[in-house]
Amino acid sequence: MPTTMTTRNSTKGVAGLLLAGVLIVVLLVSGIPGARSVSRNKCANRLAIVETVIEASPGIVVHLKNDPKIYFISPKNNHGLTATTLQQKLAGKETQLLIAHAWSPLDPFSSLNEIEEIRQEGQLLYSMK
């Protein structure tokens, strides 16, 4: 004999789907990066040798030697810099990056890091501000 869905069971299913939808929206909204730069006390310094600089998603991407993480400059904050210019200045040289340290549920292991500043031999080459 086939079972029929009661009103009570139907309400539980709708409530469950609604709860799941709300949780997904909250996670997506909390993962959207802010428009302003992060304060200095929420940044981390990274001193390493730059391997390559390329133009890719999410902007100008800097790869450091022996580091699998992705460091990037957002297109809205590049101030006219190009990947080619940075490649010529940074490739193979020790460089200091000031990295925005902001956790996101969409990137829980912080493998994608936005660059706030780039310094080389004490000279400021890029600043988000």
Backbone angles phi, psi at 26, to 5 degrees: -60, -45
- pLDDT confidence band for 32 (50 / 70 / 90): low
The more confident residue out of 38 and 15 is 15
pLDDT higher than threshold 70 for residue 40: no
- Domain positions in the chain are 40-127
Amino acid identity for residue 84 in this structure: T
pLDDT digits over 71-120, tens only? 999 888 888 889 999 999 999 999 999 998 766 676 777 788 889 999 99
Question: Tokens representing 65?
Answer: 């030697």
Percent of the chain with pLDDT over 90: 42
Give this prediction's pTM. Answer: 0.67
Tell me which CATH code domain 40-127 carries.
2.40.50.140
Judge contact between 108 and 95, C-beta under 8 A: no
Range list of β-strands (E), 9-93? 43-56, 59-64, 70-73
